[in-house]
Amino acid sequence: MDDKFLQSLLKTGLFDIGDSDERLKWLQQSITDLQKKLEEDYSLLPKHTLVALDPNISDTEPILIETELIVTAYWKALRGKYPEMPRNILRGVILNSLNNVGVAAPIAARIIYLTALNFFPYAKLNNEKGLVETMLNELGEIAEINAMEEWSLIEEEPSLKLGTLKITDFKFNKVELDKSELKAGMLVAIQNGGTQGYGSNHGGNSTWGEHFAVSSSEAITTSFMKTFDQFNKSLTPTAFETPINKFFAEFKKALDANLKTSFASLTAVERRSKLLWWKETLYSPSLKRSYRGLDKNVLPIIMGADLNNQVPEITPISADYLLRDTLLLLNEKKDDLIKFTDYLTAISENTLKSILKNYLTTLNEIEGRISITDFIALLLNDRVKITELFSKTGIKEDEQISLSDLSVAILHDLLTKRLISE
């Protein structure tokens, strides 16, 4: 495997394994095993991402414990050298695995990138911060290229390219009358059909004439039928059907490709037009009313959810800016910062809670690190308390965020859930 990223991690001083090639091999094997696990189940990517970005993650975090089991399958004496939870070694294994999965698959890159983007501003990274930031930028670039392919307008004029219809291995058999057989038949026909010799009384109305007409007709008919039978044998149905079917199969394939290209461009134009109309009208499709007049604290969640319902799960980063700009049209204080604890307190009021509960219906109550969107969903349903924010998300209560940044974070998490479910 390519251990370039692992070597870079070691250089940051995130953890130290000494000069042991054996330990390096054990880590490489652990990274490979975790990578396979993540590739088989993309739903594991967000939690592993959130854990990998937090140097202060709890020792009881399930992801850390599971990763340690993977590592100790190779590095048997890990806890002999590191009696306490070797958090940074395990984070290094997770980061390396995430990088490998993301580089190999654009969808995985998008899930990792969107998840990390929400938590990165609050991550207290040390010397590894630069490397992690570079990794996320690279994964973001992979995700963006993939998204632009989905959203791009095809400027090239569609051209239906078809091959020439060719009928090969087709030829007419040689067709000719069997002269000897026809001659024999004619000789039979001119023989006297009665007991008397030929004379004037042997014309067309005579017994001989009748005999000649019948016998010669049969001889000529037989000869021609044998000839046409030979001709028919050269005209097999497959000689025509095979090349014609192949031609039209290629025609359909070319036509489908052109229609797909044209439809993709039309879809991209329609999608952009709808989003611009959404921004211009400031109309909530879910509430069936204008965003104007709504409490500013419900806007990040409602608008993030509304935009999520209008875009495909593979969406360029420009959608974030559309959401920001649309939200800023409604926020008189523009992009002022608010403490998480103040915002969470505001939306905990019953009047706002009853509105917002319908937007975040999926409750993630599994043990361990969760996203800010999952935390808000649990809070709205009275499953957690505001004081649990740090232990659940790694974000301190007094950390600040703008309403537009919060709305983008919610959009990211909702898109991630859709990507995982695909």
271 occurs within a structural domain: no
288 occurs within a structural domain: yes
Same domain, 302 and 386: yes
Q: Above pLDDT 70, what percent of the chain?
A: 72
Same domain, 286 and 329: yes
- For residue 45 the two structure tokens come to 């990517």
Q: Say what the pLDDT of residue 152 is.
A: 65
165 occurs within a structural domain: no
Same domain, 313 and 390: yes
Q: Over range 7-34, report the average pLDDT.
A: 91
Spatial separation of the C-alpha atoms in residues 71 and 341, rounded to whole Å: 38
Higher pLDDT, 283 or 256: 283
Q: Over range 403-410, report the average pLDDT.
A: 96
- Read off the pLDDT of residues 351-392 as tens digits, 9 standing for 90 and up: 999 999 999 999 998 899 999 999 999 999 999 999 999 999
Quote the mean pLDDT of the chain. 84
Domain endpoint, select from 132, 151, 170: 151
Same domain, 204 and 296: no
Higher pLDDT, 381 or 254: 381
240 occurs within a structural domain: no
Same domain, 185 and 147: no
Same domain, 143 and 183: no
- Read off the pLDDT of residues 113-150 as tens digits, 9 standing for 90 and up: 999 999 999 999 999 999 999 999 999 999 999 998 77
192 occurs within a structural domain: yes
State which residues form the domain around 38: 4-151
Same domain, 224 and 287: no
**pLDDT above 60: residue 157:** no
Same domain, 362 and 292: yes
DSSP H or E run through 290: strand 289-290
Domain count, the chain: 3
Same domain, 311 and 386: yes
3 state DSSP class of 79 = helix
- Read off the pLDDT of residues 173-197 as tens digits, 9 standing for 90 and up: 555 656 676 666 666 666 655 555 5
Greatest CA separation found in the chain?
Answer: 134
Spatial separation of the C-alpha atoms in residues 137 and 37, rounded to whole Å: 24
Same domain, 414 and 320: yes
Same domain, 19 and 147: yes
Spatial separation of the C-alpha atoms in residues 178 and 422, rounded to whole Å: 72
**pLDDT above 90: residue 256:** no
162 occurs within a structural domain: no
Spatial separation of the C-alpha atoms in residues 142 and 105, rounded to whole Å: 9
Same domain, 13 and 102: yes
322 occurs within a structural domain: yes
**pLDDT above 70: residue 167:** no
Spatial separation of the C-alpha atoms in residues 207 and 220, rounded to whole Å: 20
Higher pLDDT, 112 or 210: 112
The answer to whether 393 and 372 are in contact (CB under 8 A) is yes
208 occurs within a structural domain: yes
